[in-house]
Every structure is written in structure tokens, then in C-alpha cells.
Chains A and B, each alone.
Chain A
Amino acid sequence: MQKVNRLKPFFENIAFEREDNHMIVNFGPQHPSAHGQLRLILELDGEKVSKATPDIGYLHRGMEKMAENMIYNEFLPTTDRMDYIAATANNYGFALSVEKLIGLEVPRRAKVIRMMLLELNRISSHLFWLATHALDVGAMTIFLYTFREREYTLDLIEDYCGARLTHSSVRIGGVPLDLPKGWIDGLNKFINHLPLDIADYEGLLDQNRIWKMRLEDVGVVSPEQAQSWGCSGPMLRGSGIAWDIRKEEPYELYDEVEFDVPVSTTCDSYGRYKLHMEEMRQSVRILKQLIPMYAETSPEIMAHAPQYISAPKEQIMTQNYSLMQHFVLVTQGMRPPVGEVYVATESPKGELGFYINSQGDPYPYRLKLRAPSFFHTALLQEILVGEYLADVVAIIGNANIVFGEIDR
């Protein structure tokens, strides 16, 4: 390694200028289209990329290390900071894995509320994806429209849990609150209107010549590549492989609701765009079925497991033993059984997995966060090769990567 000092910064021994047609461009980490802190070292041959080296770690906070030093309930708000576009999906993935670890069944109403929040998060994330992706490609109008609708999803989430970005709206063992009064009406209004809005976006983009030129046959991911690189979510379904964890390994009540898994066989960015649009429609479809399901449930929202989960507030305030248990759970934390568990959920970006190794302590011995964007970013080094420099931004935007969960 070269000797580093203040006057001679360290650039991995890369020559940034050469005499022939070759050139090395340092893209990011502070680039508006890098969707966070992505640094790409691009070797160019003329205008074509001959080698791409993504460099990550600019947002590394050591979440896995933090998890080893926190009790399980303490770690839940930290998961908000992974995929901050859809924070509930992370909260939920973590809560579900701990529930699997301790073998807990969540009340039905909590399941319905969780699913509502998850689907709202999916819509919000996809809207955000479309907004930023279209902005990168040069379509400003879409950005303004989608952010308006995203605002409504955030309002609904805010009405529920009080937060717009870092929700922490799920607890281990259920959800903290029942739906507030009038929330369902707001949701109804929103989901009745959203399909019209999606039609508007498609009206603006589907046959748009520039949009099609920038996206069609750009960022092609073959099914073999998608499997080998561990792609998941829309990146995988965009390559023609119908795999949605909600459908294949149903959690919560996803086996009771009807929805389709859209697949695109074109393998390119345009196909993935159509896929995201269709997924939003399917989310609306799920939400529509959830509203009558909610009305039929009984009012419990937290699981009853005194060893692991605190009793409801009224009980804590009236019964001495519940108060004692609550005190122990807050100060020492729950102690799950010895063993390990890997739970994957379908987050808006793909397969979000939590591997937890518990040794019976209040702190997990090892917690590994499997973030979908991490693997999609690794894939960039293969799919960017041979593309034009101008398409690099389109492909990064299309891959739907979020740096909170890549660097963790």
C-alpha cells in the first residue's frame, strides 16, 4: 500500500488520466444520482464503461455490532435506519425473526395492521423509487406527482405511529397501538385514488419516447446473473423469475389475501419499471382486502407471553407482578432460547433477511442483516460493463438501492 499523508491522498493506486481513449471517472460518493453514498470507479473506453468498481462503506454504522450490544427491544428503532424509505419493512423483518426465535404467535388484529403498514410502505417506497429514478433520467414532472402521493402514505403512517421516516411502528409481539379513529376512511380514500394516479404516471411515461429510449434494453440482467448474484424482489422478478416471499413462504396473512406476482421477461430497466407499477396496484388490492378483515378481528394487538413481552399498560399499572415483569424486561431484556434462526421477508427492495444466533442472553450473540440492496450493488460491477456512461445513472436508479441498508 502506498504511504498516505495529507498531501498525498490515497486513491488505490489509480491513474486518473491516461493518454489514449481510456479514462477513469470517480463517480460519487457525493453525487445526486448515487442514491446515497455510492462511490463508483468507472474505467471508460470512449464513452463505454469497461470496468466498474463500486466502493461502499461511507454510511457504515456497524449495526450488527450495535445489535450485539443491545437488548432485542432496544435494537428495533435502529432497524429504522436501514432502508429508511420503508422503515416499517425493516422493523417488521426484525420483529418477525425474534418472534420466530421465541416461538410467538401474534394476535390477528396486529397481523392485519402490520400488513397494512407494510403495503403502505411498499407503495411509498415504489413511489419514491419512481420519483428519483425518473428525476435521474430527466423527467421532473413525475417527481412532483409521485411525491404528492407519497405524502399521503406518509400522512397515514404518521397518523398511526407519529413518525414519517423512522417509524418503529411494529413491536416484537404485535403492534403498539390500534388504528386511530377515521384512519380506515383515510386509507380508503387513498387506495381508491392511487390507481388513478398510477394511470397518470403511466400516461406520462409508458409511451414517452425519451423514457423508452433511456430504459429499454438498458441494464439487462439475465436470469442466470440474477440467481448467481443473489438478486431478489423486483430485480429478480424483472428477470423473469416469479419469486415473491409473500407468496412462496407466506408470513402474517398473506396466504389469505389474493394478489398476483407480476413478472417481467424483458430483463431490462423498462420491464422493471412496469413491474413496480404493477406491484403498487397489487398492494392496493391487498389493502382493499385488509379493510374488511380488520373489522372482523378482536381487539388484542400484543401477544401474551409474560416471559418475553410486557403486559398491556393497564395491567402493568394495576397488577404488581406484571409491573415486576415489565421492569425486568425493560432493564435486563428478554432472553430467547438458545438457537439460531434465519427469517426472510419481502421488503419493497427484495429479500430482507435477519439471521440471529442466540445463546440465551439478552443480547444476540450474532445478528446478520441480509440487505437486498447490498447484493444489487455488487451486481453493478457486472451489469455496468459495456453500458454508456449516461446509462450508468439510469441503471443505478433502476436498481433501487438504498445506502442505509447496504452499509448498515
Chain B
Amino acid sequence: MMRSYSDKHNVQKKSYYNDRYFVAPQIPKEAVESDDVFANDLSVLKAKFEIQEAYIQKGQLVVYIDPKDNVSVLQTLRDELSYNFLSEHSAIDWLAKSGEFEIFYQMLSTSKRKRMRVKCFIKEKEVLKSVIGVYKSADWAEREMYDMFGVIISGHPYMKRLLMPDDWYDHPLRKTYPLHGDEVAQWYEIDKIFGKEYRDIIGPEERDSARVDVNDTYRFAHLNHEVPFGAEPSQEKTVTDYQEEGGVFIVKKLKKEDAKILKERY
């Protein structure tokens, strides 16, 4: 029997069935001239920089630039075209397709009430200049992007992983990284807390969040059959109502069936 093919470059979940005649429709891309404000923005940018592609999609201008121009384009957008916010900045992994990352800067102009997106492609090992000098909000956005994708940034004052631990192996949002973590990830906490020599004794970390072990009383509650932490599971029924005769101060033999339910809130 042939082993089924699995794509090593993209280990994310894929649809198990694809209609071979199905062609996904495209969200239309409108010409930039259809909006006066965006047309003006684009002409200012075109006069200074090389613009590879520009269109309007869902009411937002999308501009593809040369990655080397990123700082100066954003500087122009902020100072001349009054895009005063960098709302979001991250990357998209196209490594399997073309060996590139697509970087996007989501901009907002509060005075013009317009949003636009500046985009560029960089190669996997290519260095991207930091835009922190233009927008401070790029500080953590760039650190997160490095953490998640391994996009190398130059000129950032404190380029360190943001969400993952500093000694984490690989970058989790890449398409080659499996959802439940890789081989290294399943030993990370064991190595860190107990040491490598405990790998055989403890075993790899259980990364399947849906797994339920009925015999495990460390991690799973056994409702109505409760046993002490770590003891053998038992079939004996445990009563959960308050049992003490005479009760304690305030709680006097709590019976659930006698509990009163309020009809009105106020």
C-alpha cells in the first residue's frame, strides 16, 4: 500500500474534500481612480517611490512597495498624507509558494477617515528595516512578527521574542510548524522543569487537548465519584450536598432542593 502524501511545507489543516470544478470567486479589486482621496495618496507616493501594484479592495487602498522603501514610505504617509496611525503590522507566510514573506502595514488616517494597507514581499533571510522611528506601535508588532515568523528586523532597539520563551525553537506561525508543536516543543517543559534525564521517566508532554484519561485522577475530576488527588479511581458514589449535622455558622445543613430562586432582580 502506498503511504499517503503529506505536504511538508504546509502542515496546516486542509479540506478533506475539494470539488474539482469549484473555482473560488475573487473579491473584486477596484481601480484607485474610483476614489479621489486614494488617487491623490497614490500619486504622491508614485512621485517618490516605485509602486508595484495598487488597487482598492473592500474600501481600503492596498499598495505594494519595494521592501527597501518601507521606512520612507511610512514616513511620507505620516508626514505628508496624514496617516497618523499604524494599526497593525504583521506577515503572511508564502515560503512554500515562493520562499517569501508578505509584510503588511495597516494604516489609518483619522482626519481623512481612510484605511490603507502597505504591503511588500521579502525573501526568507532578507532583513527588513524597523519602522519604529516612524510609528512606536511597530515596536511590539515587529517583535511579535519576529517571534512568530522569524522575519529578521534591523534597527529595532530590543529585538527579542515577545510571546514565546526566549529559548524556543522555531517560529510557530510558519506553515511548516504543526498546530500541536513540533518534536522539540513536546520536551520543552520536561527539560526545563525536571531536566533532560527525566525524559524517559515522565515521557513527552500530552499535546492533544481533547484527550481524556478516565484513570487519571491528577488532571481529571470524577464528578460524583470523587477520590483524593492521585488516588485510584473508584465507582463508589460521593454525595456532594453539605453533610455536617447541625451545620456551621451561617450554613445550616445546606440542601439544594430547599434553595430559593429569586423571581425579580431589582
Chain A residues within 8 Å of B, Cβ to Cβ = 1, 4-6, 10, 12, 53, 56-57, 60, 62, 64-66, 68-70, 100-101, 103, 152, 155, 186, 189-190, 193, 225, 227-230, 232, 241, 243, 248-249, 332-333, 335, 337-342, 344, 351, 353, 355, 357, 359-363, 365-366, 368, 370, 374-375, 377-379, 382, 407
Can you list 23 contacts pairing A with B, beta carbon distance less than 8 Å? A6-B193, A6-B194, A56-B163, A57-B161, A57-B162, A62-B173, A65-B179, A68-B12, A68-B13, A69-B13, A100-B58, A152-B266, A230-B137, A243-B110, A248-B113, A342-B106, A342-B115, A359-B24, A360-B25, A368-B88, A378-B137, A378-B139, A407-B163
* A337→B172 contact, CB < 8 A: no
Instruction: Report A-chain residues with C-beta under 8 Å of the C-beta of B87.
Output: 230, 232, 342, 344, 351, 353, 370
* B27→A363 contact, CB < 8 A: no
Instruction: Report A-chain residues with C-beta under 8 Å of the C-beta of B15.
Output: 332-333, 361-363
Cα of A359 to Cα of B27 in the assembled complex, Å: 10
* A357→B13 contact, CB < 8 A: no
Instruction: Report B-chain residues with C-beta under 8 Å of the C-beta of A103.
Output: 27
Instruction: Report A-chain residues with C-beta under 8 Å of the C-beta of B158.
Output: 53
Instruction: Report A-chain residues with C-beta under 8 Å of the C-beta of B177.
Output: 65
Interface centre among A56, A155, A340 (most CB of B within 10 A): A340
| Known interface pairs A243-B110, A248-B110, A332-B15; A337-B24 also in contact (CB < 8 Å) | yes
Partner of A186, one of B162, B167, B175, B265: B265
* In the complex, residue of chain B having the shortest beta-carbon distance to the beta carbon of A53: B158
Instruction: Report A-chain residues with C-beta under 8 Å of the C-beta of B139.
Output: 378
Cα of A190 to Cα of B108 in the assembled complex, Å: 37
Total CB contacts across the A-B interface at under 8 A = 142
Nearest-CB distance from A244 to chain B (Å)? 10
Interface digits, B13-33 against A, CB 8 Å rule (1 contact, 0 not)? Answer: 111110000101111000000
Determine if B92 is an interface residue (Cβ-Cβ < 8 Å). Answer: yes
Instruction: Report A-chain residues with C-beta under 8 Å of the C-beta of B14.
Output: 361, 363
| Chain B interface, >50% SS class | loop
Instruction: Report A-chain residues with C-beta under 8 Å of the C-beta of B58.
Output: 100, 339, 341
Interface digits, B248-266 against A, CB 8 Å rule (1 contact, 0 not)? Answer: 0000000000000000011
| Known interface pairs A6-B195, A227-B84; A335-B24 also in contact (CB < 8 Å) | yes
Cα of A388 to Cα of B23 in the assembled complex, Å: 61
Determine if B75 is an interface residue (Cβ-Cβ < 8 Å). Answer: no
Cα of A101 to Cα of B88 in the assembled complex, Å: 18
* A155→B265 contact, CB < 8 A: yes
| Known interface pairs A193-B266, A248-B110, A374-B140; A227-B85 also in contact (CB < 8 Å) | yes
Cα of A370 to Cα of B90 in the assembled complex, Å: 10
Cα of A335 to Cα of B117 in the assembled complex, Å: 24
Nearest-CB distance from B60 to chain A (Å)? 6
* B117→A241 contact, CB < 8 A: no
Instruction: Report A-chain residues with C-beta under 8 Å of the C-beta of B166.
Output: 1, 10, 12
Q: Which residues B176-191 have CB closer than 8 A to chain A?
A: 177, 179
Nearest-CB distance from B181 to chain A (Å)? 9
Interface digits, B86-124 against A, CB 8 Å rule (1 contact, 0 not)? Answer: 111010110000000000101010100101010000000
Instruction: Report B-chain residues with C-beta under 8 Å of the C-beta of A227.
Output: 84-85
Chain B: interface size category: 35 or more
Instruction: Report A-chain residues with C-beta under 8 Å of the C-beta of B221.
Output: none
Determine if B164 is an interface residue (Cβ-Cβ < 8 Å). Answer: yes
Cα of A368 to Cα of B172 in the assembled complex, Å: 14
Determine if B48 is an interface residue (Cβ-Cβ < 8 Å). Answer: no
Determine if B136 is an interface residue (Cβ-Cβ < 8 Å). Answer: yes
Instruction: Report B-chain residues with C-beta under 8 Å of the C-beta of A365.
Output: 92
Instruction: Report B-chain residues with C-beta under 8 Å of the C-beta of A248.
Output: 110, 113
Cα of A332 to Cα of B167 in the assembled complex, Å: 38
Cα of A408 to Cα of B162 in the assembled complex, Å: 12
Cα of A229 to Cα of B14 in the assembled complex, Å: 37
Partner of A337, one of B27, B60, B110, B161: B27
Cα of A332 to Cα of B137 in the assembled complex, Å: 38
* B167→A70 contact, CB < 8 A: no
Instruction: Report A-chain residues with C-beta under 8 Å of the C-beta of B117.
Output: 342
Partner of A375, one of B24, B113, B137, B265: B137
Instruction: Report B-chain residues with C-beta under 8 Å of the C-beta of A340.
Output: 27, 57
Instruction: Report B-chain residues with C-beta under 8 Å of the C-beta of A241.
Output: 110
Nearest-CB distance from B31 to chain A (Å)? 16
Instruction: Report B-chain residues with C-beta under 8 Å of the C-beta of A57.
Output: 161-165
* A338→B266 contact, CB < 8 A: no
Cα of A366 to Cα of B108 in the assembled complex, Å: 21
Partner of B92, one of A12, A56, A366, A377: A366
